[in-house]
Amino acid sequence: MYALTTAQMQALERYTIETIGIDGGTLMEIAGNAVVMALREHELLTHERIAIVCGTGNNGGDGFVIARRLIDLGYDVRIGLAVEEQQLRGDAKTQYHILKRRGIPVTLLIEEVQTTAWLASCAVLIDCLLGTGASGALRGHMTWLIPLINALEKMVVAIDLPSGLHANSGEVVDAAIEADYTLTLAQPKIGCYLQQASHYIGELIVVDISVPETLVDTLHMTAPTIVTPALVKAALPARPLDGHKGTFGHGAVIGGSQHYVGAPLYSAKAVFHSGIGLISLIVPEGLMPSMMLQAPEVLLKSAASEDGYMTKEGVALHDFTKIRAVAFGPGLGRAAQLQEVAAWLLALEGPETIIVDADGLYMMKPLLQHVRATGKCVILTPHPGEMAMLCDTTIAEIEQHRFSYARDLAQKFGVYVLLKGHRSIVATPDGAQWLIPIGSSALGKGGSGDVLTGLILSFVTQRVPAEQALYTAAYLQAETAEKLAAQHSHYSVTPEMVVTHLGQLIACFVK
């Protein structure tokens, strides 16, 4: 499954019509019928009255097909048109005339008081006002109709996209339908994962309309792959029955400073709950007493420090020859000597992979142009604020163009990037991207980033390829947090709870 732009979706549609030979009218008929099947399969219909509201374009045309088919199946359906009849064009106009010839009435929704009463008499509202063709601020009757639909607080199912949500950017100019469910056609649109889109989308269901996913390859498109449970299951490291500590590998966390004691501990604990063989935790010497008894499974190592921050000499005393991967940054702080640690780490023989998080990102930024020459696999895991620092721009700019900033950073320096957020993105040096379609507000707490870093470290140490380790870690953390939030609320789930409950989710995947 891919997240596509409007232009890409239109290219797939054009290919299906012009090259495969399924004409536009037939495609609309297939789409409408497929939506009806999905509505029934997901039990979104009621035997009370259903209203289908339609606009000028093909999204409205889909609505006419859906309405006709539901009527044929015995549902009590009302159809509303939010534009004048003469504004209809192409396949939508054809479908409108099919309704007319069938004697099915269509109500014009061009007057607010009557429309309110009309909508209020229905239990479910199906939104076919605008789809991928929407642009700019709302115009005409949509300006009052969309807020009115939201105010009625009925169950709303949006077809293809919630009307008013921009398919490419996730932007909402004035208002957009706040759907309970969005039945998107063929493939999800990229805007469903950007900005505030999740507020409008509700549950996203993808409907197959005979525009197959394989066309994305046929047409050589580059689009982010949406991470599914199947991809996560396939990426989990093998666990041979006779495996031992050496099989599952030795990783290290370098972090902690006088002000941040908990962060590296969270990373180290997450590592241990996800299959690694051995974990070393290297912290400034002053932190040793407070860490001693907190995680007995961790090999705790002290590094000489100055002003509460570790020194290169202090870290370099330790043996890294058997360590496969290092996470650099949790609780590290920022100090000039830490830049020396970063430079030493990049040049270090032994660890094949370096994961850079939190303040480590600030220390690594001036060195990024040297990454390619080292031949190491370097993974950056910024949140939007850290990404803005790395790209010398603002958070707002990053949030508006998440996919392009992640891809450009990865390609510029030959690094792997996990741009965190409500919908995290993975980008690789060769331009591939993955999108994690889930997230959790329960993770909006200090410590969550450290847990994620630990999970990534654990998976790469177990020799999971970097991009798979990134999307698997992010997916498992978000899903665990959501499952916990269902029991304990989004307010109360802590990073520690996520760590200790990860195993329940992993168990479901490896069954």
Ligand X SMILES: NC(=O)C1=CN([C@@H]2O[C@H](COP(=O)(O)OP(=O)(O)OC[C@H]3O[C@@H](n4cnc5c(N)ncnc54)[C@H](OP(=O)(O)O)[C@@H]3O)[C@@H](O)[C@H]2O)[C@H](O)CC1
Kindly list the residues in this chain that would bind ligand X in the complex (CB under 6 A).
9, 13, 27-28, 31, 55-62, 87, 130-140, 142, 159-160, 185-186, 209, 211
Nearer to ligand X, 23 or 306 (CB): 23
The closest alpha carbon to 51, from 141, 176, 145, belongs to: 145
Distance, CA of 359 to CA of 341 (rounded, Å) = 12
* Residue 265, CA distances (Å) to 129, 260, 332, 499 in order: 51, 10, 12, 11
158 binds, among ligand X, K ion, none (CB under 5 to 8 A by kind): K ion
Task: Tell me how far apart the alpha carbons of residues 63 and 28 are, in angstroms, rounded to a whole number.
Answer: 10
Report, in Å, the least distance between residue 165 CB and K ion: 9
What are the residues facing 353 on neighbouring strands? 325, 377
- Contact between 483 and 229 under an 8 Å Cβ cutoff? The reply is no
33 in a known ligand binding site: no
Q: Taking the complex as a whole, how short is the minimal distance between the CB of residue 192 and ligand X, in angstroms?
A: 12
Which of K ion, ligand X, none binds 31 (CB below 5-8 Å, type-dependent)? ligand X
263 is in an annotated binding site: yes
454 in a known ligand binding site: no
353 assigned binding-site residue: no
Count CB-CB contacts under 10 A for residue 210.
13
**Closest distance to K ion from the beta carbon of 52 (Å):** 11
> Is 168 known as a binding-site position?
no
Binding stretches for K ion (CB under 5 A): 59, 127, 158-159, 163
420 is in an annotated binding site: yes
- DSSP structure string for 32-96: HHHHHHHHHHTT---SS-EEEEE-SSHHHHHHHHHHHHHHHTT--EEEEESS-GGG--HHHHHHH
Choose among K ion, ligand X, none what residue 13 binds, the Cβ cut-off being 5 to 8 Å by kind.
Answer: ligand X
- Residue 134 among known ligand-binding residues: yes
- CA 279 to chain CA centroid, nearest Å: 29
- The response to whether 55 counts as a known ligand-binding position is no
Tell me the Cα Rg of the chain. 26
* Complex with ligand X: residue 99 or 473, whichever CB lies closer: 99
Residue (140 or 243) nearer to ligand X, CB: 140
Choice between 8 and 163, CB closer to K ion: 163
Q: 10 Å Cβ neighbour count for 230?
A: 9
C-beta of 124: minimal distance to ligand X in Å? 18
The verdict on whether residue 137 carries a ligand-binding annotation is: yes
**Across the strands, what pairs with 479?**
none
In the bound complex, what is the minimum distance in angstroms from residue 126's beta carbon to K ion?
Answer: 9
Nearer to ligand X, 130 or 265 (CB): 130
Using the minimum distance from each CB to ligand X, give the nearer residue, 185 or 406: 185
Nearer to ligand X, 190 or 211 (CB): 211
Q: How far apart are the first and last CA of the chain?
A: 24
127 binds, among K ion, ligand X, none (CB under 5 to 8 A by kind): K ion
Taking CA 195 as the corner, what is the angle to CA 454 and CA 495, rounded to the nearest 5 degrees? 25
Q: Report the partner that residue 261 touches, choosing among ligand X, K ion, none (CB closer than 5 to 8 A by kind).
A: none
Distance in Å, CB of 346 to K ion, minimum: 49
- For 52, phi then psi, to 5°, come to -115, 120
Q: Which amino acids are annotated as binding site, given as ranges?
A: 58-62, 127, 131-137, 160, 163, 263, 331, 383, 420-424, 449-450
Q: Binding-site residues for AMP, please?
A: 420-424, 449
